[in-house]
Structure 1
Amino acid sequence: MAGVQFNSKFSMKVGRQELNYDDARILDNLDWAAQARSYDALKFAYQDSLMQVDGVLAFNLSGEIPEPVKLFNNIYNSPGGFSTLGGDLPNYKNLQLLWFKRQIKKSNFRLILDNIGWQMPDSTVSYLLTTGFNSKIVVNTKIDINGSLYYQIGEDIADRKTEAYLAALNLGFKTRSSFRYKLGFNYVSGSEAWEGANQSSSFDPLFGTHHKFYGLMDYFYVGSPHNQSGKTIGLWDYYLGGELTLREAFKLLLTVHGFSSSVSIINQTLITENLNPHLGTDLDLVFNYKYSADINFKTVYSQYVGNFKYGNYKVRR
């Protein structure tokens, strides 16, 4: 990677680099994984004391299949990603991004416009546009609110006409200096079984760190497409959590997620019957010890409780 600092406010970077925007919901560097994620891109950035604006252009050529998360492969023998089962790594052919951030005291407002071109087997390119905002409002020293709303339109990686949504809200508050609560929800739209083969209402969260939002066991948007009729059924995720500071270096965190489908789940053997939309409950317990400014230890216990089956996907206790 090479970079140029034109002046105190305007800079440029070109080459393989990390991109990390907003709360890592849509596009980020996946730095919790050992291999992380990088992008071959040209990035222009402007920043002053009140706002920041980034513009990104990226283009991928065909090549050898690389380490799975390195965005270099451009071989699309069959669709992959979260909208369908199987297939090659869902890398883009080209990407154009515009990002804006406005700082207002301790609160901020961020807007993103992300256009991704997927190359089809016949060498045509289908485009999926994702736009939306993420905002953090600091009410006072004890209460803060985080909210996100995104809209997708265009064609997904399987070249299906797509219109989809994602919404999220998180409320954090302290009752005293050592204890902090959080509660909120994530909504990711999904596709009904009766939707046409060339249509999709499934939101693709693209290159975000899904592990951060939908439970630490990675059942959703990481380890499985959780689909029916070849399309993701979406997700309702309600959660409640607490963080207890035992001492300055010790923290205990507990989060409980309740998962449901955002659409009807059809019984595959009796299509006139709908199954229970509840997908399970995830409990995540984390013990955190900060040894120094550069060294941090975490011990995690997670338990997922669910017992259901739809399509080819089954969740076990």
Structure 2
Amino acid sequence: MKKLRILILLVLGGMSASIQAQELDVNLQVRPRFEYRNGYKTLLPEGQKGTSQISQRSRLNFNYKQEDLTVKLTLQNTRTWGDVVPAATADKNGVAVFEAWAQYNFTQKWSARMGRQVLSYDNQRILGEQDWGQQAQSHDALTVSYHTETQKLDLGGAYNSTAENVLQTPYTVNTYKTLQYAWYHNQFNTELGLSFLLLNTGYEYANPDAKLLVDYKQTFGPYLTYKNNKIDSNFWLYGQTGKSNDLQVSAWNAAANFGYQITESFKAGLGYEFLSGKASNDGSTVIKSFNPIFGTNHGFNGYMDYFYVGNHLNNIGLQDAFLKLNYNINKWQFALIPHVFLSAADVVTPLPQSAKLDSYLGTEIDATFGYNFKKDITVSGGYSQMFGSKTLEFIKTGDADHTNNWAWLMISVNPRIFSWKK
């Protein structure tokens, strides 16, 4: 720590001879998390046992500001305890650059940011940081922003390649080849806000003649919020169109949430979300299943991640009706969230039986707690249980009669280790 401080001061000392008005903030995050997985993400197969592990995120954040220029660098390592031997000469995952961007403010309203950055908007249903995942999510992009007190406009884009090639080379990374988006937000007053997102993603593929092509899919729609001292509500409606792997896309997603502050400590809410899907006996080539793409999907449709967290894509869709109960007292936060899941499209068994199954998929109960142990230390944890149906067993396999549950405990330590201003 002392050597790090000396190094930073030497660098700043060399810079300060010609540059004034500088700020530097350095902070650290260490976040280990224990998980017991016994039917997590999918029903536990018959005869199999669950497992436990501890994962950890370690981050070092540098935030530097000089007049109209802001620079951020975030280095991170993610690991599972024990994934290398104690005397290992190298780490399995190494140190990755999570964020590395520079932002220049042309005026008080206009700015541009380039580099590795987080794209996070509204409730993060379509574009989010995915902070629950130890690795989280960031993009190599350029963003131009226009921000006033009541209006915000962000225009962004990205173009990806596997390396500095000199000939056309297939893009083999499992993500988009190109991305463009526009996000506009208008805060009408202290209570009412409206956003609109338009996202265009291009994915490369090879046609039967091995010619490299890019198909573009558009995701678009409004996000409406209304909030006052008692009411906290939101609504969104997103459509999806375009093409994917030479197939037409036609899908949509809608949701409504209503929360009410009953007392200073107790808040209750209810919500419903519909993500379109495709019937299992639908023979058309049209993609009718909505894909949240880059959303923070762990925060939706149950914490056991049965749906849309690297799974349930191009499937029967989902209906999610849920209740949220939150209770906060002193340094403690408690939440209880029961979900009832149903399919959005018909679930039909294969021929020759071709029987239509019940749309009910199951009920999940999520219970969580948080405790602000000290200024820079928080402790959180939870327990979830899935009561799956025979229909869920059909689409995911596994044993619905088995006890399918998940528990976790996480400690997050976030100290500021250096702060300097001149």
TM-score by length of 2: 0.65
The answer as to whether partners of 1:307 and 1:315 remain within 8 angstroms in 2 is no
One-letter code of the match for 1:210? N
Aligned to 1:187: 274
Q: CA deviation at 1:15?
A: 1.2
Bigger drift between 247-256 and 307-316 goes to 307-316
2-structure distance, mates of 1:314, 1:154: 35
Partner of 1:75: 172
Contact 2:281–2:348 (Cα < 8 Å) also in 1? no
Residue 202 (structure 2) pairs with residue 117 (structure 1)? yes
CA distance in 1, matches of 2:383, 2:216: 40
Q: Which has the higher contact order (CA 8 A, sep 6+)?
A: 2
Post-superposition offset of 1:105: 2.4
Q: Higher mean Cα deviation, 304-313 or 185-194?
A: 304-313
Alignment of 1:25 onto 2:125: yes
Separation of aligned partners in 2, 1:305 and 1:146: 28
What is the CA distance between 1:177 and its match in structure 2?
Answer: 1.2
257, 265, 270: which one pairs with 1:170?
257
**Which residue, out of 120, 123, 135, partners 1:35?**
135
SS in 2 for 1:272: coil
Tell me the matched-pair count: 289
Q: CA–CA distance in 1 between the matches of 2:138 and 2:152?
A: 21
Tell whether the 8 Å contact from 1:307 to 1:314 is kept in structure 2 after alignment: no
Deviates more, 1:48-57 or 1:266-275: 266-275
Match of 2:319 among 236, 240, 254: 236
Q: Secondary structure at the match of 2:298?
A: helix
Q: How far off its partner does 1:224 sit?
A: 2.5
Conservation of the 8 A alpha-carbon contact between 1:55 and 1:99:
yes
Paired with 2:124 and 2:102, the residues of 1 have a C-alpha distance of 24
Q: Aligned to 1:272, which of 354, 357, 360? A: 354
Q: For the Cα contact (< 8 Å) 2:183–2:196, is it kept in 1?
A: yes
- Call closer, same or farther: CA 1:173–1:303 in 2, change over 3 Å: same
In 2, the alpha carbon distance for the partners of 1:47 and 1:304 equals 43
The equivalent of 1:70 in structure 2 is: none
Given residue 237 of structure 1, which amino acid in structure 2 is its aligned partner?
A: D
Aligned 8 A contact 1:63 1:74 in 2: no
Confirm or deny that 1:284 pairs with 2:369. Answer: no
Q: What do residues 207-247 of structure 1 show as CA deviations (whole Å, max 9, x unaligned)? A: 00111011000000015226xxxx311000000120112x2
Residues 262, 315 of structure 1: alpha-carbon distance in 2 compared, 3 angstrom cutoff: farther
Distance 2:348 2:320 in 1: 20
How far residue 269 of structure 1 moved from its aligned partner, in angstroms, is 5.1
Please give the alpha-carbon distance, in whole angstroms, between the structure 2 residues aligned to 1:131 and 1:272: 36
**Separation of aligned partners in 2, 1:254 and 1:141:** 22
Partners of 2:346 and 2:298 in 1: how far apart?
A: 25
| Distance in structure 1 (CA, Å) of the matches to 2:349 and 2:280 | 10
The amino acid that maps onto 1:29 is E
Q: Which runs of 5+ in 1 are unaligned?
A: 65-72, 77-88
Measure the CA separation in 1 of the matches of 2:146 and 2:196. 15
Which region of structure 1 is more displaced relative to structure 2, 192-201 or 91-100? 192-201
C-alpha distance in structure 2 between counterparts of 1:54 and 1:275, whole Å: 45
- Counterpart check, 1:249 vs 2:249: no
Q: Which has the larger radius of gyration?
A: 2
The answer to which structure has the higher helix fraction is 2
CA contact (8 A) 2:130 2:297 kept: no
Which of 188, 204, 215 matches 2:291? 204
Counterpart of 1:45 (choices 134, 145, 153) is: 145
The TM-score with structure 1 as length reference comes to 0.86
Q: Is 1:296 the counterpart of 2:413 in the alignment?
A: no
* Identity, % of aligned positions: 34
Instruction: Tell me, in whole angstroms, the C-alpha distance in 1 between the residues paired with 2:222 and 2:399.
Output: 33
Whole-Å separation in 1 of the counterparts to 2:201 and 2:310: 23
Identify if the C-alpha distance between structure 1 residues 252 and 147 changes in structure 2 by more than 3 Å, giving closer, same or farther. same
For the structure 1 residues 256 and 276, does the alpha-carbon distance in structure 2 shift closer, same or farther, using more than 3 Å as the test? same
